[in-house]
Structure 1
Amino acid sequence: MIQVVKDLLLNLLFIIGFCSFLPMFLEQKGIKVKKWLTITFFCIAIILCITFPIHLNDDFVFDLRGVPIFIGGLYGGPIPLLIYSLIAVGFRLLFGGDGSITTIMITLLNSMLILAVYKRFNLLAAKDKLKLVVVLGILSTIVVFVSPYILFGFTLQPDYWIGFGFTMILSLFILVYLIESIREFSFLREQFIRSEKMEVVSQLAASISHEVRNPMTTIKGMLQMLKETPDLAADKKNQFITISLDELNRAEKIISDYLSYAKPTVQAVQIFDGHSEIERAINVIKPLANMNCIEIETDLIPFQLNVNQEKFQQCIVNLTKNAVEAMPNGGKLTFQAYHSHDSTVELIIRDTGVGMGQDQMIRLGMPYYSTKGKNGTGLGLMLVYRIIESMGGTISVQSKLGKGTAFTIKLNTYSVN
């Protein structure tokens, strides 16, 4: 028995390779291409099993060709079963002998078994499929050894019966188990990918809402000031109107960016004065700061950058707005910019707000993590981190609970040389 099992292990290797592992790599193919390539792999497995059989005498051989026929027919249905049966019979006829006639009878009986149960088989759970193929393996073993006796009176020793039957049943069991495991893995992976896509859509929607809220807040502040101070000087009115229009344009640009999949990489770059851009961001946030009784101080050196101006503005506004919101009871907001090296500028935005603990700082920049609780999404700061990194810069944070927070941005400056 052991020798029979050892001799059939090569057949089992062919079957596992061509009938389970190779079809696993066809997931990216079209349905028709995948179907016919799978049929081709099963046919190759049948041919290889017949090519390397156990020889009983000049007329009779036996092998595991029935395994790919059973598995292919159970999962594929009548048409693949017909192809496998014709391949098995046709290739076996090339070798001649009485065993060729026996092959026709065995293949016919096995095909009848498969056609009787294949519909029910595909409706069963994985565990029930395993039970069914064990029964089919037992029946197929009986067919294989009874057919030669009926046709030619040829009998086999019990060791061959037991060895072949054990290997046949084990092969069917292993193959169904592998196929079901691969199917389950593919299903779970598809579910995971679908879940990831939905998560991206959710993040995109929440991020659009978060980013558009910033300019809307500024515009609201400007309009409130215009309403509450009707005797405001004409130049101030024009300034507020200009800032409001600029913020509307920025909101429109933000929406356009996110409709283009919100790519964080910086594409269009231009040379601009970083000092002036920070002053503009301060003007944008100043109404909100005044409402919260926040003092703003600046210590900025002139410097030029060669990055995307709108993205840089978006980062500064985000960080500044976060700083203002961290000081609901008033405080001081400080902007500093200085050259740390000849070609590097360090920009520090510091507040005297509620501050953060070490565990909070570690999670900054992660999607959906916010120190604002239900009032924040964490997406604004996540975008700041990604934008600064895409500009070739770095961003770091220092904070203490009850003392305040300081964000430090390092960027390469632009030099004519």
Structure 2
Amino acid sequence: MDITLHFFFNLSLLIILLFLLIIWIGFSNNLDSFKILAIIFSLVSLAICFVFSYRFHEDLTLDLRVIPFTIGGLYVGIGPLMGLIIIFIRGMYGIDFGFFSTVIIIVSFSLVYWKMSPWFLKQTYRQRVIIATGMCFIVNLFPVLFLEISQQPHPLFDVYFAYLIIQPLGVAIIAMIIEIVCESLYLRRHLVKTKRLEVVEKMATAISHEIRNPLTAAIGFVQLMQDETITKNKSDQYLSILKSELNSAEKVIQNFLNFSKPQIETIESLDVNEELQFVVNTLQPLAKRSMVTIDTKFLTTVQIMGDRQSFHQCFVNIIKNSIESMEDGGTITIEVESSQTNHIIRIQDTGKGMTPEQLEHLGEPYYSTKGESGTGLGIMVAYNIVRAMKGTISVKSEVGKGTTFEFSFPKEESDIS
């Protein structure tokens, strides 16, 4: 009975090791490292099996080596490597009948596993579990057979139970866990791929939708200009409108390019107060038409490193979005302050606010709180520009009360000291 308890303890260590590696995969989020971790599991498990082997007497040492040998041989295809390690370690215990029987069994099944592995991996997950369990049982028949031939004294029940029940059971449990993990990794990959395809589809829809309108208008005015009876003034008017529509189409394309990769072309020191005031002055006509008041509270002079044009584009998009959220007018408050390590820009509006679900999706491709009338490009571009300038964004919002955007940019070392 001691052998059985000892082997169950050993098996529990192998399962714990496997779960630790699974946790590591989850934290690292690196799916490509799975095969490397499987090799590590096989080799470390093999070492654990030898460390916790049960020495019945001088000529008889029992262990669970066939479990990692089977898993590593079939799932990872390293049967010959595992076999060499097993033979080397077994040789350290002494060159005896047990050593030669180990060489015969391990060499034979190392080659079998090596040849089987590619075929094995093409089977369904249920078939793989059954095959691995069955192969472990077959391999363990031979040590039992050699024990009977050698007529060495041994506890019959414990040896049979350990070799023909515990080890196949251990392989079945570990194989099932591996299959579940592989399935979850596959589903994760599939989910990521599906989301990417969905983003591409929505972006294509956005491009089509946003560019079609100005191009349709431009085509219409080109057709009008083909009328030979129109006056010079009308022709100039049509040309002006045509240019405006084409500029709108170009702006949409530029927004998509900026979303893909923000153009931080020129890094220079920016006076945040001065640049924000420029943005406010630019948007004042729109704010007045929308009955929106823009208040500024520049509590300190702040300098950050970045691209001036990108900085303007970012905050024009954010403030313009705030203005458009206040259909019946309201107030936008812009504050600038500094903490010990960061410069903070806070933009607060009294608009309609957003729900927690809307906040969660804010900044995602083609997500807009304006419904069909918006593409979400402005917010996406703003988020990407802030990230490119090594800043962060936090958003708080309450339906019916308004939204607060807080931008944090790291101070330069000279500013901190």
- Shorter-chain TM band: 0.5 to 0.7
Residues 1:256 and 2:254 aligned together? no
What's the counterpart of residue 151 of structure 2?
153
Question: What value does the CA root-mean-square deviation take over the aligned residues?
Answer: 5.4
In structure 2, do the counterparts of structure 1 residues 300 and 41 end up closer, same or farther at CA, with 3 Å as the change threshold?
A: closer
Counting only pairs closer than 5 Å after superposition, residues 174-185 of structure 1 correspond to structure 2 as 174-185=173-184
Q: Bigger shift: 187-196 or 106-115?
A: 106-115
- Is the contact made by 2:348 and 2:402 (CA closer than 8 Å) also made in structure 1? no
User: How far off is 1:85 after superposition?
Assistant: 1.5
Identify if the C-alpha distance between structure 1 residues 300 and 275 changes in structure 2 by more than 3 Å, giving closer, same or farther: farther
Name which of structure 1's ranges 39-48 and 111-120 shifts more when overlaid on structure 2: 111-120
Partner of 1:140: 139
Alpha-carbon displacement from aligned partner over 1:146-196 (angstroms, at most 9, x marks no partner) = 11332x233533312332122111111112112212211211121122223
TM-score, normalisation: structure 2: 0.63
Amino acid at match of 2:142: V
Q: Structure 1 residue 135: deviation in Å?
A: 2.6
Residues 1:219 and 1:315: Cα distance change in structure 2 (over 3 Å): farther
Q: Is the 8 A contact 2:60 2:98 kept in 1?
A: yes
Q: Secondary structure at the match of 2:189?
A: helix
**Do the aligned partners of residues 387 and 348 (structure 1) sit closer, same or farther apart at CA in structure 2, a change above 3 Å counting?**
farther
1:194 corresponds in structure 2 to 193
Inter-CA distance 336–230: structure 2 relative to 1 (3 Å threshold): farther
Deviations 1:328-357 (A, max 9, x none): xxxxx76555779999987678xxxxxx9x
Structure 2 residue identity aligned to 1:75: Y
Query: Do structure 1's residue 93 and structure 2's residue 71 form an aligned pair?
Result: no
Any idea what SS the aligned residue of 1:61 has?
strand
Q: 1:396 to 1:121 in 2, by over 3 A?
A: closer
Give the Cα separation in 1 of the matches to 2:321 and 2:158: 78
Native 8 Å contact 1:69 1:81 kept in 2: yes
| AA of the residue aligned to 1:5 | T
Q: Distance in 1 between matches of 2:333 and 2:29?
A: 52
Number of the residue aligned with 1:309: 312
CA contact (8 A) 1:59 1:99 kept: yes
The answer on 1:107 being equivalent to 2:117 is no
Distance 1:386 1:37 in 2: 36
1:42 maps to amino acid:
S
Matches within 5 A, 1:1-400: 1=1, 3-16=2-15, 21-22=20-21, 25=24, 38-39=38-39, 41-77=41-77, 80-96=78-94, 97-111=96-110, 114=113, 117-150=116-149, 152-154=150-152, 156-164=154-162, 165-208=164-207, 216=214, 247=248, 250-251=251-252, 253-260=254-261, 270-273=275-278, 276-281=281-286, 298=291, 308-314=311-317, 335=329, 366=361, 375-376=372-373, 379=376, 383=380, 398=400
Identity of aligned residues (%): 19
Q: How far 1:47 moved relative to its partner?
A: 3.5
Distance 2:232 2:100 in 1: 108
Tell me, yes or no, if the aligned pair for 2:49 and 2:64 is still in contact at 8 Å. Answer: yes
CA contact 1:20–1:179 (8 Å) conserved in 2: no
TM-score, with length taken from structure 1: 0.63
Q: Tell me by how many angstroms 1:70 deviates.
A: 1.6
2:259 is aligned with what amino acid? Y
One-letter amino acid of the counterpart of residue 126, structure 2:
K
1:85–1:107 Cα contact (<8 Å) kept: yes
Q: For structure 2, list consecutive stretches of 5 or more residues without a partner in the other structure.
A: 303-307, 338-345, 387-391, 408-417
Task: Report deviation, 1:64.
Answer: 0.7
2:80/2:111 contact within 8 Å kept: no
Mark the runs of 5 or more structure 1 residues left unpaired by the alignment: 284-295, 324-332, 350-355, 399-405, 413-417
Q: Give 1:197's aligned amino acid.
A: R
CA distance in 2, matches of 1:85, 1:102: 13
Q: How many residues align?
A: 364
Residue-by-residue CA offset, 1:241-270 (whole Å, 9 max, x unaligned):
89668656644542431231699xxx9862
**Could you tell me how far apart the structure 1 residues matched to 2:256 and 2:115 are?**
60
Name the amino acid aligned to 1:259: S
- Kept in 2, the 8 Å contact 1:274–1:303? The answer is no
Deviates more, 1:364-373 or 1:158-167: 364-373
In structure 2, what is the Cα distance between the partners aligned to 1:127 and 1:19?
Answer: 19
Distance 1:126 1:397 in 2: 49
The DSSP-based 3-state class of the residue aligned with 2:57 is coil
The separation in 1 between residues aligned to 2:347 and 2:141, in whole angstroms, is: 84
* Alpha-carbon spacing, 1:301–1:25, altered in 2? closer, same or farther (3 Å): closer
Q: 2:381 & 2:397 partners in 1: Cα distance?
A: 9
In structure 1, distance between residues paired with 2:53 and 2:238: 94
Cα distance in structure 1, aligned partners of 2:34 and 2:405? 52
Q: Cα deviation per residue 1:27-59 (whole Å; 9 max; x = unaligned)?
A: 88898x976775455334323322332222211
Q: Offset at 1:69?
A: 1.4
Change in Cα spacing, 1:237 to 1:113, as seen in structure 2 (3 Å) is closer
**Could you tell me how far apart the structure 2 residues matched to 1:190 and 1:297 are?**
46
Residue 60 of structure 1 aligns to which amino acid in structure 2? L
> Which whole-Å CA distance do the structure 2 matches of 1:218 and 1:115 have between them?
64
